[in-house]
């Protein structure tokens, strides 16, 4: 194939359908050809700061030969063999041990998938399965939140709370409903006289109201990202998650933590809910486990759920859930090599330090008259642009402010993703301080250009 740029894009448009396909964006797209550390290079050789580490996943940075070597070695030894019905492979077994060490104390058993949506599908089915084993098969519904992103397979899409993902694929799966997000910048809590609750507690109580509205005997699980990622890095108040855990316990509802973004260090810990002193019943993960070098995701389940799965076959309730690529040996080998890099290079500690630096530097943008909110936790952050800082009013969608800022940052050599007029940051853990400084400067210059 002729590889001139125009030709590449023409072939692309002729034969590929992209995630979130739009022919217009396809015409202006970058063809990424190389990556190194926190940098990406496009078809013209132009360098970009990768402010989102791929799609929140390339934690160990681009260009790691060690991960390529781990994949090659495993492919030469055993590229694939089925893990159905108890069959296994050495990298999967070792990864299970490693995950049990890193994950929440009560979560010691793991089912592996190829990505995040498959992980969440597995979580929903496992929640339903669990309640059936407990003689409570009527508990099948799942509650999630507005601005949640849980993937785009049908059930994951139904849990996703970003409405633009729905209309052309509806009807959604029955039994999925949403409560408002604990969005400090926008959560509208007007306590009535005598109501002493904090906004975090009031946001959590929306879950209890929804459980009661649906009927607790019909609700299997609540799913939430500890920090909502694609929805615009929404960091809940500190007292939100402990109260969510209490509400789930009170009504026999399983708590699923979607840690596809927050898992493996993004918030400064291996998994994010520990900082709030709680554990989920099921955790889903993907992305960072291999730093994106090979597709891998999965769920971890609590000892209580694992015991139900183990007891299932005896009761005629076998857990008939599977993927061809579950526990893929190459994916597991890459994950192990990735975790080795984390430990050897102290990437978790580095992410904590870089996170503080990024949050501090981003504050320099807060005084701009259209920067409504600068927020983040650990090494993930967002800058929300608004039409009016006093009223927090958004720009009209057709003003395309976010997209124009994004285009300006691309021209200056930085790439990321938006949600509306919210600009997200989640760089790789190997980013240099000077690169973070440049990222913040580029965003500042681009906001000034679009909103002078
Ligand atoms: C929190 C969260 N859950 C699930 C997913 C879906 O993962 P995948 O795209 O691997 O299916 C994503 C992807 O961005 C995510 O951010």
In angstroms, what is the span from residue 445 Cα to ligand 1's centroid? Answer: 30
Q: Which atom of ligand 1 is nearest to the CA of 153?
A: 11
Strand segments, DSSP code E, in 117-202 are 141-145, 176-179
Q: How confident is the model at residue 3 (pLDDT cuts 50, 70, 90)?
A: low
Please work out whether the CB of residue 298 comes within 6 Å of at least one atom of ligand 1.
no
Prior bond of 287 cis (ω within 30°): no
| Tens digits of residue pLDDT in 158-191 | 999 999 999 999 999 999 999 999 999 998 888 9
Element (H, E) at 318: none
> Pairing relation of β-strands 47-50 and 414-415?
parallel
DSSP state of 192: P
pLDDT by residue (tens digit) across 316-333? 999 999 999 999 999 999
Find the 116 Cα to ligand 1 centroid distance in Å.
4
Q: In sequence order, what are the residues at sequence separation of 6 or more whose Cβ sits closer than 8 angstroms to the Cβ of residue 316?
A: none
Structure confidence at residue 156 (pLDDT): 98
Average pLDDT over residues 78-106: 97
Residue 381 has pLDDT above 90, yes or no: yes
Q: Which residue reads 């599908």 in tokens? A: 121
List pLDDT tens digits, range 341-366: 999 999 999 999 999 999 999 999 99
Give residue 1's pLDDT.
47
- The model's pTM is 0.97
Q: Evaluate: CB of 229 within 6 angstroms of ligand 1.
A: yes
Residues 6+ apart with CB under 8 A from 151: 115, 116, 117, 118, 120, 121, 157, 160, 260
Ligand 1 atom closest to Cα of residue 151:
6
The pLDDT of residue 200 is 97
Query: CA 340, CA 446: separation in Å to the nearest integer?
Result: 38
And the tokens for 84?
């159905």
Tell me if 147 CB under 6 Å of ligand 1. Answer: no
Residues comprising the chain, all counted: 452
Residue 28: the pLDDT is 74
Cross-strand partners of 254: 221
Please tell me the distance between residue 245's alpha carbon and the centre of ligand 1 in angstroms: 23
Q: Are 233 and 418 in contact (CB under 8 A)?
A: no
Tell how far the Cα of 54 is from the centroid of ligand 1, in angstroms. 13
CA of 355 to the centre of ligand 1 (A): 22
Say yes or no to pLDDT of 394 above 60. Answer: yes
Least Cα distance to 343 among 66, 88, 104, 92 occurs for 66
DSSP-assigned beta bridge partners for residue 176: 142
Task: Please indicate whether residue 449 or residue 23 has the higher confidence score (pLDDT).
Answer: 449
Return the percentage of the chain with pLDDT > 90, whole number. 94
For residue 233 and ligand 1, the question of a CB distance below 6 A is answered with no
CA 65, chain centre distance (Å): 25
In 3D space, the residue among 118, 120, 70 whose CA is nearest the CA of residue 290 turns out to be 70
The token pair that represents 120 in the structure block: 């969440």
Tokens in use for 210? 């929804």
Q: What's the pLDDT band for 5 if we cut at 50, 70, 90? A: confident
Mean predicted lDDT score pLDDT of the chain: 96
Probe ligand 1: pick from 156, 261, 264, max atoms within 8 Å of CB?
261
From 151, 156, 226, 272, the mutation candidate for ligand 1 (largest count of ligand atoms within 8 A of CB) is: 151
Whether the CB-CB separation of 119 and 285 falls below 8 Å is answered with yes
pLDDT at residue number 135: 97
Distance, in Å, from the CA atom of 365 to the CA atom of 386, rounded to the nearest integer, reads 13
* Predicted local distance difference test score (pLDDT) of residue 167: 97
Number of the ligand 1 atom closest to the C-alpha atom of 55: 14
Calculate mean pLDDT across residues 122-146: 98
pLDDT digits (tens, 9 = 90+) for 207-259: 999 999 999 999 999 999 999 999 999 999 999 999 999 999 999 999 999 99
DSSP 104: -
User: What separation in Å is there between the alpha carbon of 120 and the centre of ligand 1?
Assistant: 9
Strands 141-145 and 422-425: unpaired
280 lines ligand 1 (CB under 6 A): no
DSSP alpha helix (H) spans, 228-363: 240-250, 303-311, 329-345, 347-362
pLDDT at position 39 is 98
- Residue range 137-148, pLDDT digits in tens: 999 999 999 999
Rounded Cα gap, residues 144 and 258, in angstroms: 11
Pocket test for ligand 1, best of 154, 272, 273, 287 (most atoms within 8 A of CB): 287
Which of 115, 116, 118, 155 most suits a substitution to test ligand 1, by most atoms within 8 Å of the C-beta?
Answer: 116
| 396: pLDDT strictly greater than 50 | yes
**Non-local CB neighbours of 421 within 8 Å, separated by 6+ positions:** 384, 385, 386, 394, 395, 401, 402, 405
Return phi, psi of residue 164, to 5°: -65, -15
Percent of the chain's residues with pLDDT above 70? 99
383, 372 in Cβ contact below 8 A? no
Stronger pLDDT, 267 or 12, i.e. the higher one: 267
**Two tokens at 107?**
């979560």
Pair of tokens at residue 379: 């090494």
């Amino acid at each position: 194939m002729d590889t001139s740029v125009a030709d590449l894009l023409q072939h692309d448009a002729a034969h590929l359908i992209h995630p979130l396909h739009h022919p217009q964006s396809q015409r202006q797209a970058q063809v990424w050809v190389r990556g190194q550390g926190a940098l990406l290079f496009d078809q013209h050789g132009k360098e970009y700061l990768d402010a989102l580490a791929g799609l929140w996943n390339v934690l160990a940075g681009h260009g790691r030969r060690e991960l390529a070597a781990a994949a090659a070695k495993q492919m030469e030894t055993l590229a694939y063999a089925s893990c159905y019905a108890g069959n296994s492979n050495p990298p999967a077994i070792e990864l299970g041990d490693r995950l049990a060490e890193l994950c929440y104390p009560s979560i010691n058993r793991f089912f592996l998938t190829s990505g995040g949506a498959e992980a969440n599908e597995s979580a929903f089915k496992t929640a339903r399965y669990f309640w059936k084993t407990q003689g409570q098969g009527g508990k099948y519904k799942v509650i999630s939140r507005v601005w949640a992103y849980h993937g785009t397979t049908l059930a994951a899409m139904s849990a996703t709370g970003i409405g633009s993902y729905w209309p052309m694929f509806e009807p959604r799966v029955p039994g999925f409903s949403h409560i408002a997000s604990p969005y400090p910048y926008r959560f509208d809590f007007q306590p009535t006289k005598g109501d002493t609750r904090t906004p975090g507690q009031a946001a959590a109580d929306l879950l209890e109201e929804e459980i009661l509205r649906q009927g607790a005997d019909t609700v299997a699980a609540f799913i939430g990202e500890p920090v909502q990622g694609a929805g615009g890095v929404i960091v809940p108040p500190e007292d939100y998650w402990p109260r969510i855990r209490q509400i789930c316990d009170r009504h026999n509802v399983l708590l699923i933590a979607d840690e596809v973004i927050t898992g493996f260090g993004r918030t400064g810990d291996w998994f994010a809910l520990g900082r709030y002193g709680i554990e989920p019943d099921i955790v889903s993960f993907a992305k960072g486990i291999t730093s994106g070098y090979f597709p891998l995701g999965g769920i971890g389940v609590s000892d209580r759920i694992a015991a139900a799965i183990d007891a299932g076959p005896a009761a005629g309730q076998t857990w008939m859930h599977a993927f061809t690529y579950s526990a893929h040996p190459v994916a597991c080998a890459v994950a192990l090599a990735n975790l080795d890099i984390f430990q050897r290079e102290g990437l978790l500690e580095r992410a904590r330090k870089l996170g503080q630096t990024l949050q501090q530097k981003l504050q320099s943008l807060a005084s701009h008259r259209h920067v409504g909110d600068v927020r983040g936790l650990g090494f993930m952050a967002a800058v929300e642009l608004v039409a009016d800082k006093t009223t927090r009013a958004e720009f009209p969608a057709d003003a395309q402010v976010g997209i124009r800022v994004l285009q300006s940052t691309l021209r200056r050599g930085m790439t990321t993703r938006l949600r509306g007029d919210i600009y997200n940051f989640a760089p790789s853990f190997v980013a240099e301080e000077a690169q973070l400084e440049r990222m913040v400067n580029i965003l500042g210059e681009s906001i000034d250009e679009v909103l002078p």
